[in-house]
Structure 1
Amino acid sequence: MDLVLRAVGWMVFAFGGPALALWVRARWGRPAAWLGLGALTWGGAQALRLPLLMALSAGFRWFGWSAPPQPFLFNWIVLSLSAGLFEETARWLGMRWAARRQAREGRELEAQDAVVIGLAHGGTEAFALGLAGGLTFLAMAMLREGLLPTPPAAAPALAAYWATPAWMVSVGILERAMAILFHAGLALILWHGLRRRQGGWWAVAVLLHAGANGTAGYALARWGVWAAEGAVALWTLPIAIGIARALRRPAPPPPR
């Protein structure tokens, strides 16, 4: 039963987000291109960000740089702010392309379009993380069942993995659900800026993204997983209210 719960949990983790984006896109009749656009904005951002982080990490080893005196501040700036900068810049550029595409067809980019793009972005991230978690689960299961040889150095990690309750995967699913909703809200913020031709909304999205990542990471390191979930929920709640309000009321006309 433990194996079944973990397997189903990782499947929901990986495929729940993309399935939601597909369903919402079909329900609202939005272009299928928005799904690819959302996936591309996440993948493109990581393709640039991750090599930069690896190069920075390598710099500490190769050049003998000393550890920063304030690790939390350093990690917040490098990890959280870089996530905001790269992902929101990619999303901003992608949504500008989407707006031009709609304009060529005599239509406007609407709030529903932004939500679909945000859901696809967040769903792609969930798929990547769920795939990594699912492959880890598969490897751990094969090690436990003796289908793969267990290196002595891996024994503590194997024991710790199976000591973690299977239901903890559902905590990750909850966190991803909130993160996907948060991405949809950030996409709406950028859509608002594009409609009003105000680039400052890009900075708002970057700072919100960095703030959510940073506070959740700090809460996880300081107080544990439930505190991190609470931090994510506090960021997501106003975003969810904003999404509901934006979808209910008609969009203001763009400035001439």
Structure 2
Amino acid sequence: MGPLGYVLLQGIGAIVGVVVLWLVAKRKLGFRWAALGWGALAFPLSQLARVAVISPLNAGFERFLEPSVAVTAVTVVLVLSSGLFEESARWVVMRYWAKGVRSWREGVGFGLGHGGIEAILLMGNAMVSNVAMLQFGDVVREQVARTGDTKALEALDSQVELLNTIGFTLVAMGWYERILAIIFHVAMSVLILRAVRERKWQLWLLAVLLHIAFNTVAVTLAPVSYTALYIALTAFTAVVVWALAAGPLARRAVDGSRDVAGLPANVGKQMP
């Protein structure tokens, strides 16, 4: 299989995998499709708001700061805004629109929708971009070369070289990273669910900080070592899995014996 085949395998495999995950999880957990749909809506909404706010800010950095300083500033803003906007969007959607999402299983469905649609959009966009690069790379390189931007040309050459050497290992690494991200989104959705139900802004803040920490690990270690990156993200996700299975985000801890209104848990689950 050549580079084009591997690129298509990674993108299509990720999309099919997410759909299968949704179907299996829906059957096993019994959450409503609406919960998954609200979660899937929360992600693009968060990105629209994020882009609207940080684009002018990043443009200002690039105009008034030295290039090296501007790159650092833009990276910091991207990392900080990821947690702030995604967790805030989760809270807004869950608090005001998805009022049926009030139990653990509905929160998990919400998180699967959020993390799943992110994987579909990111992997699908990467697939389209990489296919275009493989098919029209020479044309793109010629256009970049005409600008005289040597750094952009070097970055382009590095990307093309990576694509031409892609194999199943890199494909699997991309899938694995998305699996970790989806698990993380599920945990943060359940945490935001608790924030909404218990009306504790501290839990929202905790979700924001954890999200920033997760992305900081990725941004910091990716340029250094992919091995260290995946070890760190796996360890981070292992803690998240514990929290969902037996910790403060477990079903028993979240649903408890009563809902936020003080009603029995089985009554609360019937509320719209």
Q: Provide TM-score, normalisation by structure 2.
A: 0.79
Partner of 1:249: 252
C-alpha spacing 1:181/1:17, structure 2 compared with 1 (3 Å): same
Instruction: Give the stretch that moved more between structures: 195-204 or 115-124.
Output: 195-204
Count of aligned residue pairs for this structure pair:
244
Contact 1:18 1:124 in 2 (8 A): no
Q: Deviations over 1:169-209 (max 9, x none)?
A: 21111000000000000111112222322221000100000
Cα distance between partner residues in 2 of 1:239 and 1:61: 36
TM alignment of 1:60-75, pairs within 5 A: 60-62=61-63, 64-66=64-66, 74=73
Q: Which residue of 2 aligns with 1:204?
A: 206
Deviations 1:12-47 (A, max 9, x none): 223423431343124333221122211111000000
Query: How big is the alpha-carbon RMSD for the aligned residues of Structure 1 and Structure 2?
Result: 2.7
Contact 1:44/1:90 (CA < 8 Å) preserved in 2?
yes
Seen in structure 2, the aligned counterparts of structure 1 residues 60 and 98 have a Cα distance that, compared at 3 Å, is closer
> CA separation in 2, counterparts of 1:69 and 1:149?
31
Give % identity: 28
Instruction: For 1:61-210, list aligned pairs within 5 A.
Output: 61-62=62-63, 64-66=64-66, 74=73, 77-97=76-96, 100=99, 102=100, 109-143=102-136, 149=139, 151-152=141-142, 153=145, 156=157, 157-210=159-212
Task: Verify the 8 A CA contact 1:17 1:122 in the aligned structure 2.
Answer: no
How far apart in 1 are the matches of 2:103 and 2:208? 21
* Residue number in structure 1 paired with 2:267: none
SS across alignment from 2:53: helix
Q: Which runs of 5+ in 1 are unaligned?
A: 103-107
Alpha-carbon contact 2:62-2:70 (below 8 Å) kept? no
TM-score, normalised relative to structure 1: 0.83
SS in 2 for 1:167: helix
Deviates more, 1:82-91 or 1:21-30: 21-30
Residues 1:69 and 1:142: Cα distance change in structure 2 (over 3 Å): closer
SS of 2:235 mapped into structure 1:
helix
Q: 1:151 to 1:70 in 2, by over 3 A?
A: closer
